[in-house]
């Protein structure tokens, strides 16, 4: 899941564009509070010292097939951790730091992108070497994500409002999708890899056919930017969040809105779904709520962060922290 904060259009190409990529809320505690020593502890939300960098962490990605966590930081290092916090590998980009990460289906590869060299590097987790470099893009990379069920296909989105479908082995773009009229701010691939949805700065949502490489449907999802998208219920439901402070649930068989959550007081920057629980994040607050009843299960207050993200792991979710680590929150 990719999300972007609200800023004037001219600021999307500055450093602040990256600094608030995937803006979310966390449970911010006083600095004097104790730090948990376990990754999957029973606390609701604590700083974990095991997942550390020398500088701020930008985002994190969990690999279910190998039970490992990848983090990237402005220290230009991508680190791979086991769930007990042990450092397994680390990769370094000497020129610039990566802003987006994605594991392949098997966990063999990790895609790292977002640096100013416009290159997507595919690292082999086992050999700890770059196996492929995807080059040729003319615009900055906002997001790079693997297909859900194969290791040889990857989707990237760039600042020129284009979507590229890559064949990893040949290191070539097999299709470029165009049609989004505004800056693409979010993307999500369906579990079967047949479809993907993108949201943009003008609030439009487009669902794409990834077999025939064409638009399936498009509609005005939010009055302002659509910054968070997540398929749910086997792809029959789409959850979207945006600058209008609303979270909307769409019936993707009929492309109709059937529920709307109005519990946020400011724009929504990130969404994750775990069964019937939705984690939705605004600038200074994270809400956990029930998708069926629309009732709030938990509310986590926070303050503004420089680098923000949310990622679901095995029995918990990881969120950003104004420091050189991350926080781990248990589902309660």
List pLDDT tens digits, range 199-231: 999 999 999 999 999 999 999 999 989 999 999
Residues 6+ apart with CB under 8 A from 31: none
Task: Report helix, strand or coil for 15.
Answer: helix
Mean pLDDT of 158-178: 97
The tokens of 231 are what? 């398929």
Q: What is the DSSP string of 256-290?
A: EEEEEE---SS-EEEEEEETTEEEEEETTEEEEEE
Averaged pLDDT, 151-157? 97
Confidence of residue 9 (pLDDT cuts 50, 70, 90): very low
**What are 177's two structure tokens?**
């999708």
Q: Where are the domains of the chain?
A: 9-330
168: pLDDT strictly greater than 80: yes
pLDDT in tens, 22-50: 333 323 333 222 222 222 223 356 655 67
Residue 166 sits at φ, ψ, to 5 deg, of -105, 145
Backbone angles phi, psi at 233, to 5 degrees: 55, 45
Q: CA 120, 103, 141 angle in degrees (round to 5)?
A: 30
The CATH label, of 1.10.150.110, 3.40.50.2000, 3.20.20.70, 2.130.10.10, for the domain at 9-330 is 2.130.10.10
How would you class 15 by CB atoms within 10 Å of its CB: exposed for 0-12, middle for 13-18, buried for 19 or more? exposed
- The structure tokens 């069964």 sit at 275
The Cβ-side half-sphere exposure at 279, using a 13 Å CA radius, reads 26
pLDDT tens by residue, 80-136: 999 888 999 999 888 788 999 999 999 999 999 988 889 999 999 999 999 999 999
**3-state SS string over 23-35?**
CCCCCCCCCCCCC
Q: Quick one: pLDDT band at residue 306, thresholds 50, 70, 90?
A: low
With left for phi above 0 and alpha for psi between -120 and 50, is residue 265 left, alpha or beta? alpha
Q: How far apart are CA 147 and CA 166, in angstroms?
A: 10
Residue 266 in this model has a pLDDT that exceeds 80: yes
């Amino acid at each position: 899941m990719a999300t972007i904060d609200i800023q004037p259009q001219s600021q999307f190409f500055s450093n602040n564009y990256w600094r608030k990529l995937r803006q979310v809320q966390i449970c911010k505690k006083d600095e004097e509070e104790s730090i948990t020593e376990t990754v999957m502890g029973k606390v609701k939300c604590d700083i974990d010292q095991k997942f550390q960098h020398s500088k701020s962490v930008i985002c994190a990605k969990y690999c279910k097939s190998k039970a490992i966590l990848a983090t990237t930081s402005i220290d230009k290092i991508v680190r791979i951790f086991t769930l007990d916090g042990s450092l397994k590998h680390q990769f370094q980009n000497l020129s610039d730091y990566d802003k987006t990460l994605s594991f392949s289906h098997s966990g063999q590869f990790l895609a790292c992108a977002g640096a100013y060299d416009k290159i997507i590097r595919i690292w082999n987790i086992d050999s700890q070497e770059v196996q492929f470099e995807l080059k040729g893009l003319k615009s900055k990379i906002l997001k790079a994500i693997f297909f859900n069920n194969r290791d040889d296909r990857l989707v990237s989105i760039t600042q020129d409002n284009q979507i590229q479908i890559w064949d990893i082995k040949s290191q070539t773009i097999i299709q470029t999708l165009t049609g989004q009229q505004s800056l693409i701010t979010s993307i999500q691939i369906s579990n079967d890899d047949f479809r993907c949805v993108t949201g943009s700065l003008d609030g439009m949502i487009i669902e794409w056919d990834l077999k025939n490489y064409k638009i399936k449907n498009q509609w005005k999802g939010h009055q302002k930017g659509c910054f968070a998208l997540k398929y749910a219920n086997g792809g029959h439901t789409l959850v979207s969040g945006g600058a209008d402070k609303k979270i909307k649930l769409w019936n993707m068989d009929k492309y109709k809105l059937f529920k709307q959550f109005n519990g946020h007081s400011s724009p929504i920057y990130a969404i994750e779904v775990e069964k019937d629980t939705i984690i939705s994040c605004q600038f200074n607050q994270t809400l956990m709520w029930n998708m069926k009843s629309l009732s709030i299960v938990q509310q986590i207050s926070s303050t503004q962060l420089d680098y923000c993200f949310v990622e679901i792991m095995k029995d918990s979710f990881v969120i950003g922290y104004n420091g050189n680590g991350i926080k781990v929150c248990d589902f309660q």
